Every structure is written in structure tokens, then in C-alpha cells.
């Protein structure tokens, strides 16, 4: 039977690519808040919180849902962000249960583990999810995963595949994280390596496609092998770092927020200082997928495609 797949947030960076890929072998439906006319799929402009979502899923006899819609760049309106991320996901879950959807894939994040000094050196899926309350993106990912865990117990007939990516990079990635790499000097905190784990966007597309087509379930970190410190990233880019003591950066963030020069406050210091480092053992040995690029290869590919370093040959391009 042909799968009938709904992608929420289908006009986002990953959603557009995934729609094209899945439409080759399945009937694909998409919702987003953008005015769009994507080819190859049945599209409707819709907020994830809409009461019409349940009718849409039922009317189109959706068998599989891929939930990508979320707030990536937190706004000053934290209640609105919570309503979209958490209440919007609950609205989707209820619609899935009401219409006997068989399989749900959710892109969570490594941020769900939280940014803590006592994080394991390499975080595994069995480690607790402690998304920081003061960092809304991390906290909402944690709350959504707690909700999903409750639904797994109450509604085991809805198979769940939960993916926790590290930093996703590809040839055309452009977001708040990549903005850091374009600075003349990269910000570093004295005494902290500020490690990054990267996953190639095409690996993410492959993993979701395989997970949906084979009805896989479970929770999996998505990361290439290895991690890169901010100083290693600076070396690759041929840039210097601006190494600041934690107390100084915390003070600067506090003043910046008071003067409304930035939405980020001193609590965001931990975002740079205690980045979660994701182990990919379960992805490779339980899910059965070997990332095509390591963290180093992902970053070098991204940087070369963006013109940040000379183009380098890569066997996986």
C-alpha cells in the first residue's frame, strides 16, 4: 500500500528537500504557515495549532506523519513560542490518534539534553533529557519529548521515531548557528572547548526517508563521527578566536539585554560553554545507518560550499 505522508513545516530548510525525496515513492501532503505552491505534493497553508488539522489528516487518510514544524529562532514572546512548539505538537498527536495514523517521526534536537556542566562527555539516548528552562528552544524540545513518552505508553499503536540531531549543515545552510562562523573572529570561552557535533543535511534526509519507509521506531541521536572545538573550527576557517572569560561574557550579555541590544541574556552563556556532544552508536548499530560524513567532513563541506575556505575534493559529495 502506498504510504500517505504528511510533513509539517514542509517549507522549511529540511522540509522542502524531504518533500521532493519522498514524493518519488509516496503520496506526500504538506502544511506550513508560508504562502507556497510546492510541486509534487498536496499543500495547504495551516498553523500546527489549527483545529482544522485533524480534519486534514482524516480527509487525506494520512498513514505517516513527519513533524518538522517548530520555532527555530526563539522570539521575545515566549508564551507564543510555547504554544506553537508544545501545544501545537499536542494538537498533532491528538489528530494522529483520532485518525489511526500508524507512524510518527519527530525531529527533536540534541538540545533536549540541555546545556549542563555535568553532561556526559558523550551523550547517549539513555541519558536524561534536561533541557534548560531558561533556554526556550532546549526546554520546549524536552517538554515535547516528555509528552511523546507519555503518548508511547498510552497509545502504543502509534509508532514513534524520535530523532535528535546535532548541528545540521549542508551546502546552503544559513541560520543563527552558521552566523557564528561568519564572524571575523570566533567567540570562545576560556577553559571551554565549546564542542560542536555536525550532521550532514543529506544524511538527515536519508535517515528520515529510511525510518519512514521501513516503519522504524525508537530514539536516536543524529551526528557524524567526532566533534570539533571552536578553536578547531577557527583553524579550518583560517580565523582567530576571541577568547573571553566566562564572567566577562556573562556581564556583556546582561548589559546587552538590559539595553535591548540583544534578546539573549546571561543565561545563554551555557549555550556556548556546555554544548551537548552526541554519541551516534545507536544510530549506527541499532537503527543501522552509517553517516556518510564525519563532523569534520560535514563542516569542511559546508565551509567550502559557502566560500569560507577553498573548495576541497570530497568523496561523498
pTM, rounded to two decimals: 0.93
Specify if 310 maps to a domain: no
**Span of 61-70, 145-154, 190-199, 217-226 with lowest mean pLDDT:** 190-199
- Listing DSSP states for the chain in one string gives ---EEEEETTTSHHHHHHHHHHTTTSEEEEEESS----TTSEEEE--TT-THHHHHHHHTT--EEEE----SS--S-HHHHHIIIIIHHHHHHHHHHHTT--EEEEE--GGGG---TT--SSB-TTS-----TTSHHHHHHHHHHHHHHHHHHH-TTSEEEEEEE-EEE-TT--SHHHHHHTSSEEEEETT----B-EEEHHHHHHHHHHHHHTT--EEEEE--SS-B-HHHHHHHHT-EEEEE-HHHHHHHHHHHHHTTS-S--GGGHHHHHS---B--HHIIIII----SS-HHHHHHHHHHHTTSS-----TT-
Q: What is the pLDDT of residues 110-119, one digit of tens each?
A: 999 999 999 9
* Total domains in the fold of the chain: 1
Specify if 254 maps to a domain: no
Specify if 111 maps to a domain: yes
Specify if 17 maps to a domain: yes
Specify if 44 maps to a domain: yes
Residue 262 pLDDT exceeds 80: no
**Which residues constitute the domain of residue 286?**
4-170+198-226+278-292
**Most confidently predicted of 8-12, 133-137, 255-259:** 8-12
Per-residue model confidence (pLDDT) at position 194: 85
Specify if 302 maps to a domain: no
CATH code of the domain containing 89: 3.40.50.720
Q: What is the pLDDT of residues 231-259, one digit of tens each?
A: 999 999 999 998 889 888 888 878 877 87
Specify if 184 maps to a domain: no
Specify if 137 maps to a domain: yes
Amino acid at each position: 500500500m502506498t504510504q500517505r505522508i504528511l510533513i509539517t513545516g514542509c517549507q522549511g530548510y529540511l522540509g522542502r528537500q524531504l518533500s521532493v525525496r519522498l514524493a518519488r515513492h509516496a503520496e506526500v501532503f504538506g502544511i506550513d504557515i508560508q504562502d507556497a505552491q510546492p510541486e509534487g505534493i498536496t499543500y495547504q497553508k495551516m498553523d500546527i495549532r489549527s483545529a482544522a488539522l485533524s480534519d486534514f489528516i482524516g480527509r487525506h487518510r494520512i498513514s505517516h506523519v513527519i513533524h518538522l514544524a517548530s520555532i527555530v529562532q526563539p522570539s521575545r514572546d515566549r508564551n507564543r513560542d510555547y504554544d506553537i512548539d508544545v501545544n501545537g505538537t499536542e494538537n498533532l498527536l491528538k489528530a494522529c490518534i483520532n485518525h489511526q495514523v500508524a507512524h510518527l517521526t519527530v525531529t527533536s534536537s540534541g538540545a533536549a539534553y540541555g546545556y549542563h556542566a555535568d553532561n556526559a562527555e558523550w551523550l547517549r539516548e539513555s541519558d536524561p533529557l534536561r533541557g534548560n528552562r531558561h533556554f526556550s528552544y532546549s526546554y520546549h524540545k524536552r517538554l515535547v519529548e516528555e509528552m511523546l513518552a507519555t503518548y508511547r505508553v498510552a497509545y502504543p499503536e502509534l509508532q514513534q521515531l524520535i530523532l535528535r540531531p546535532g548541528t545540521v549543515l549542508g551546502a546552503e545552510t544559513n541560520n543563527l548557528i552558521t552566523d557564528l562562523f561568519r564572524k571575523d573572529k570566533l567567540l570562545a570561552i576560556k577553559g571551554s572547548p565549546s564542542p560542536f557535533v555536525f550532521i550532514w543535511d543529506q544524511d538527515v534526509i536519508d535517515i528520515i526517508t529510511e525510518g519512514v519507509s521501513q516503519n522504524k521506531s525508537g530514539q536516536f541521536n543524529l551526528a557524524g563521527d567526532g566533534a570539533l572545538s571552536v578553536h578547531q573550527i577557527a583553524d579550518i576557517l583560517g580565523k582567530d578566536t576571541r577568547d573571553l572569560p566566562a564572567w566577562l561574557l556573562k556581564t556583556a550579555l546582561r548589559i546587552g539585554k538590559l539595553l535591548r541590544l540583544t534578546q539573549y541574556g546571561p543565561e545563554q552563556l551555557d549555550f556556548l560553554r556546555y554544548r551537548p556532544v552526541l554519541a551516534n552508536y545507536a544510530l549506527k548499530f541499532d537503527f543501522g545507518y552509517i553517516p556518510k560524513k564525519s563532523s569534520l567532513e560535514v563542516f569542511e563541506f559546508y565551509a567550502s560550499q559557502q566560500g569560507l575556505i577553498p573548495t576541497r575534493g570530497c568523496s561523498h559529495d
